[in-house]
Amino acid sequence: MRRLISLVAATSALLVFAGPTLGCAGLIGPNGAVNLLRTTTFAGYHDGVEHYVTSFAFAGGEGEFGSLVPLPDVPTKVERGGDWTLQRLNIETEPQLFFAADAARVGAAEAQVLLQVRIDALDITILRGGGAEVGAWATEHGFRLPPDAPEVLDFYANRSPIFLAAVFDADAAAERGQAVGDGTPVHLTIPTDDPWVPLRILALGKTEAQTVEADVYLLTDHRPGLLPAPSSALSPDGFELTHSAKATDLLLADLRSDAGMEWVPQSAWLTKVHINSDAADIAFDLAIDADGSAPSLVDAGFLPYGPTPAPWTTPRAWALLAFAVALPLLAVWFAASMLRGRESPPLAGA
Amino acid sequence: MFHRSLAAIALLIGAAVVAGCGASPPVQRVEILIHYSHFSPAELTVPHGVAVTFVLINEDPIDHEWLIGDEAFHERHRTGTEPIHGERPDEVSVRAMSSAQTTLTFDEPGDVDFICHFPGHEAYGMAGVVHVT
């Protein structure tokens, strides 16, 4: 199936700190403060290949900190991303600033290390493993994962056991002269027929009262099908479609002129979903069908991954089920109405 | 025959008396599973005056701790700074994907809370209670 999908997931991150695991309550990171990174992500999908571009911003401080990002499949290439793709999309849609990530370190454990790349002051590791394996790897490599991490990692690993661990070396960044806020763009080339945008991980480590704020950009051949559809019954408050239009030739030309972005097609549809929702409500991912048909309930995380859910994973199937339930109720209601009609008192004067 | 039976009965009685004088109550063993940052069971009942061995099995890929005590004890640990426990039987660190155990005897009946005081873990629901009868 020829599909073109570009995704920009605003955030993705596990709260992590480098250094020894800390116990007891009230402890803070080894740098004396919690370092939060702002991470912006873009992914494009063309001819079965997803181009995932994300930027890790230097947040100051010392030591190491980073994030974990679930991926839909195994990348074949990890390289430095273009310089202005994310900024250009921001300008196009007047978006808001993105998300926060945290800290970590890199090494090896039970999880299989598929790829390791150093980009500027950023160490990227592509991992394959179950939730427990990847979590153990992260823990052993300095990530201090929040309490919801075991469940969230399983949530992703059951669908795709591929994760990206990014560790930002703040000391190296400082030596390179990177200023606070400077981002390091990373471009992943991911052959996959199953693209989705990780959203649930944006709520990782957050309390229910905290909010998830993110921007998701999609660039598709046609208007894409989204699940959950923004502003629908399935989507929470603050999950809104803020841009949906044919991408301008100028935008596509600008994107195509950036490093590694030659894959951008001549014609595409640009979509932006803005998320500003309670963390407790972000328990799903954004499933996408680039052809505009029904995205998968499994990809959205509404149904668990399994060997046989395929026929029942589309909204159409759920609509049929709802119709099947509603039909007898409708019949009962109709029969009751008819009965009441017969028992109603005769008209005055009759 | 009669004498032999009498001797056997005397021996049994003697053994029972010795056992009753010298033996302490058997140690109870309780397993608590840690999964997705929750204790299971989160509520259990043990008798007072009996040694209870708590076996803590951490299935999570992250570290946890099991601290048991009164409210003042927990309040101290909510603002504590000890990275690892293990010196005291009521403060146990349980590393990722591993198990640990400790033995405690509760002197008086009452409820005693156990909590993981790693940042955010208590708020996430990582707490339980031992009812001492």
Task: Read off the DSSP letter of residue A74.
Answer: -
Task: Read off the DSSP letter of residue A49.
Answer: E
Residue B69 lies in a domain: yes
Domain encompassing residue B72: 25-132
Residues of B in contact with A150 (CB under 8 A): 35-37, 60-62
Looking up residue B40, the CATH number of its domain turns out to be 2.60.40.420
Q: What is the token pair recorded at A136?
A: 């153990």
pLDDT at A144: 78
Q: What is the token pair recorded at B61?
A: 């890929």
What ranges in chain B are assigned the alpha helix state H?
2-22, 71-78
Can you spell out the DSSP letters for A135-170? HHHHHHTT----TTHHHHHHHHHTT--EEEEEEEEH
Residues of B in contact with A146 (CB under 8 A): 120, 124
Give the whole-angstrom CA distance, residue A242 versus residue A64: 35
Contact status, residue B103 vs residue B123, Cβ threshold 8 Å: no
Could you give the 3-state DSSP secondary structure of residue A29?
coil
Residues of A in contact with B90 (CB under 8 A): none
Contact status, residue A228 vs residue A235, Cβ threshold 8 Å: yes
Residue B118 lies in a domain: yes
Nearest CA-CA distance, residue A289 and chain B, Å: 32
Partner-chain contact B79 A25, CB within 8 Å: yes
pLDDT tens digits for range A301-338: 888 776 544 545 555 555 556 666 777 777 777 777 77
Q: What is the token pair recorded at B42?
A: 């989160």
Residues paired with residue B31 on neighbouring β-strands, in sequence order: B55
Partner-chain contact B121 A26, CB within 8 Å: no
Contact status, residue A75 vs residue A169, Cβ threshold 8 Å: no
Contact status, residue B125 vs residue B34, Cβ threshold 8 Å: no
Residue B66 lies in a domain: yes
Give the whole-angstrom CA distance, residue A85 versus residue A8: 11
Give the whole-angstrom CA distance, residue A217 versus residue A154: 26
Give the whole-angstrom CA distance, residue B55 versus residue B101: 4
What ranges in A220-314 are assigned the alpha helix state H?
249-256
Q: What is the token pair recorded at A237?
A: 């408050």
**Strand pairing class (B51-58; B28-35):** parallel
Q: State which residue of chain A sits closest to B91, comparing Cα positions.
A: A24
Residue labelled with tokens 């995932």: A52
Residues paired with residue A169 on neighbouring β-strands, in sequence order: A64
**Spans in chain A with pLDDT lower than 70:** 1-41, 43-44, 56-66, 93-109, 180-181, 194, 306-324, 341-350
Of A23, A133, A207, the CB nearest to B118: A23
Nearest 5°: phi and psi at A94? 50, 55
Residues of B in contact with A148 (CB under 8 A): 36-37, 124
Number of folded domains that form chain B: 1
Residue B51 lies in a domain: yes
Residue B67 lies in a domain: yes
Give the whole-angstrom CA distance, residue A229 versus residue A314: 13
Give the whole-angstrom CA distance, residue A74 versus residue B54: 42
CB atoms within 10 A of CB A22: 20
Contact status, residue A254 vs residue A164, Cβ threshold 8 Å: no
In this prediction, what percent of chain A has a pLDDT beyond 70? 70
Residue A40 is which amino acid?
Answer: T
Q: State which residue of chain A sits closest to B75, comparing Cα positions.
A: A25
Q: State which residue of chain B sits closest to A133, comparing Cα positions.
A: B61
Residue B105 lies in a domain: yes
The contact set of A with B (CB < 8 A) is 20-27, 131-140, 145-151, 153-154, 205, 207
Mean pLDDT per 10-residue segment, chain B (133 residues): 47 41 66 97 95 96 94 87 71 93 95 94 95 95
Residue to test with chain A: of B33, B39, B57, B62, most A Cβ within 10 A: B62
Contact status, residue A41 vs residue A12, Cβ threshold 8 Å: yes
Residue A220 burial by Cβ neighbours in a 10 Å radius (0-12, 13-18, 19+): buried
Q: State which residue of chain A sits closest to B38, comparing Cα positions.
A: A147
Residue B96 lies in a domain: yes
Burial string for B94-107 (b: 16+ CB within 10 Å, else e) reads bebbeebbbebbbe
Q: What is the token pair recorded at A126?
A: 């592509």
Q: What is the token pair recorded at A61?
A: 């401080």
Give the whole-angstrom CA distance, residue A328 versus residue A322: 11
Distance of CA B21 to the CA centre of its chain: 25
Residue B7 lies in a domain: no
Residue labelled with tokens 């950036």: A258
Residues of A in contact with B81 (CB under 8 A): 24, 26-27
